Amino acid sequence: MVSPIKKIKYVLTVFLCLLMGLAGVGCGGSEASGSGTYTLPELVIPAYSGADTSSCDVGGFDTTGADSGYVMASYTGDVPAKLQVVKDGVKYNYDIPATGEYTIFPLQMGNGTYSIRLLVGVGDNRYTAVLEEDVDASLSSEFAPFVVPNQIVDYNADSACVAFAREQAAGMSSDADVVKAVYAYIKDHVTYDVAKAQSPPVGYIPSVDDTFLTNTGICFDYASLAAAMLRSCGIPTKVETGYISPSGIYHAWNEVYVKDSGWIEVGFKIDANTWTLLDLTFAAGSSKSDLSGFIGDGNENTYETQYTY
């Protein structure tokens, strides 16, 4: 059984004092910080080292990136398989494709010893380990897992959303400005896909470029796209999933960490040097009451994190 990490957060509804282009007129604190501390960094995309650190006849691990917050794994078998990451009794299970290509998986639980396991299906939804490796991670930064792609936030140098985000960020002077721009873009352009939400595919994994190009998605898509755009600009961003109350809806959202404080929109401020919760799905759908069954009503929502990516 998976033992999730749980934490409770409270976030107030994003109140807009004015709508449709009037934001900031007559309302103090509507602009993000312009302190000049932000410079667009080089794009960081992990690559296979060229040699497995451990392998078996149907798969392999490359754990050389552990200190940078990730490991890579491949699988070539003909039965369903999972990549399991375990630390201090907490387990994350990921579906792993049988393509033989190396997939990036995060080490998001801090410094320490992780057990990486390749599990193959043996029937009746049961799995057995065919490969296991313990790896000691001494993260170069607490933010390391949250500034690179992984299976849930899957982007590369050719991703359209990355090119767009980095083009926008290139002329900005604070990381709060970058967050504000990404927040505004997703809020204004991505439409909630009710049909997908009603019948989400089993084992669904977001595609950030599909979301960016179609401008539609569910909460997982919103959160993954935001994380891809911000991470590619060097801004630590988490994707978190769990329950929001009082609605009891399973949901996905983001946390971002910035060095500069600033205003995302009127009434909603991000503080410097701390993680700030952003619910892009609610922001985009807050004017659509028919979505309340999927995203909650936003009034003093309680966010209970079960998984972080």
Q: For residue 17, is pLDDT > 70?
A: no
Residues 240-249, mean pLDDT to the nearest whole number: 87
Q: What is the value of pTM for the model shown?
A: 0.84
Q: Are 162 and 228 within 8 A, CB to CB?
A: yes
Q: For residue 151, is pLDDT > 80?
A: yes
Q: What pLDDT is recorded for position 28? A: 31
Q: For residue 247, is pLDDT > 70?
A: yes
Q: What pLDDT is recorded for position 300? A: 53
Q: For residue 283, is pLDDT > 70?
A: no
Q: Which two tokens stand for residue 194?
A: 């009710």
Q: What pLDDT is recorded for position 284? A: 62
Q: Are 55 and 131 within 8 A, CB to CB?
A: yes
Q: For residue 182, is pLDDT > 60?
A: yes
Edge-first strand order for the sheet with 274-278 is 7-11, 301-308, 237-245, 249-258, 274-278
Residues 45-62, mean pLDDT to the nearest whole number: 98
What's the DSSP call for residue 182? H
How far is the C-alpha of 18 from the C-alpha of 53, rounded, in Å? Answer: 56
Q: For residue 265, is pLDDT > 50?
A: no
Q: What pLDDT is recorded for position 303? A: 87
Confidence of residue 296 (pLDDT cuts 50, 70, 90): very low
**What does R_g of the chain's alpha carbons equal in angstroms?**
20
Higher model confidence: residue 244 or residue 222? 222
Q: If 0-12 CB within 10 Å is exposed, 13-18 middle and 19+ buried, where does residue 146 land?
A: buried
Provide the mean pLDDT of the chain: 84
Domain 54-139, CATH number (from 1.20.1250.20, 2.60.40.10, 3.40.50.1370, 2.102.10.10): 2.60.40.10
Cβ neighbours, 10 Å, residue 76: 14
Cis geometry, peptide bond prior to residue 206 (ω within 30 degrees of 0): no
Domain 7-40+152-308, CATH number (from 1.10.1040.50, 3.30.1360.200, 3.10.620.30, 3.40.50.720): 3.10.620.30
Assign 168 to helix, strand or coil: helix
CA atoms within 13 A on the CB side of 116: 27
Q: For residue 7, is pLDDT > 70?
A: no
Task: Supply the DSSP string of 21-48, one letter for each residue.
Answer: T-TTTT-TT-SPP--S---PPPP-----
pLDDT in tens, 83-127: 999 999 999 999 999 999 999 999 999 999 999 999 999 999 999
Task: Map out the domains of the chain as residue ranges.
Answer: 7-40+152-308, 54-139
Confidence of residue 130 (pLDDT cuts 50, 70, 90): very high
Q: What pLDDT is recorded for position 110? A: 98
Q: What pLDDT is recorded for position 290? A: 46
The answer to which of 40-49, 125-134, 259-268 has the lowest mean pLDDT is 259-268
Q: Are 258 and 175 within 8 A, CB to CB?
A: yes
How far is the C-alpha of 15 from the C-alpha of 272, rounded, in Å? Answer: 21
Q: What pLDDT is recorded for position 278? A: 83
How far is the C-alpha of 277 from the C-alpha of 109, rounded, in Å? Answer: 18
The share of the chain scoring above pLDDT 90, in percent, equals 67
How far is the C-alpha of 309 from the C-alpha of 151, rounded, in Å? Answer: 9
251 DSSP β-pair partners: 242
Q: What pLDDT is recorded for position 145? A: 98
Q: Kindly report the three-state secondary structure assignment for every residue of the chain.
A: CCCCCCEEEEECCCCCCCCCCCCCCCCCCCCCCCCCCCCCCCCCCCCCCCCCCEEECCEEEECCCHHHCEEEEEECCCCCEEEEEEECCEEEEEECCCCCCCEEEECCCCCEEEEEEEEEEEECCEEEEEEEEEEEECCCCCCHHHCCCCCCCCCCCCCHHHHHHHHHHCCCCCHHHHHHHHHHHHHHHCEECHHHHHCCCCCCCCCHHHHHHHCEECHHHHHHHHHHHHHCCCCCEEEEEEEEECCCEEEEEEEEEECCCEEEECCEEECECEEEEECHHHHHHCCCHHHHHHHCCCCCEEEEEEEEC
Higher model confidence: residue 260 or residue 41? 41
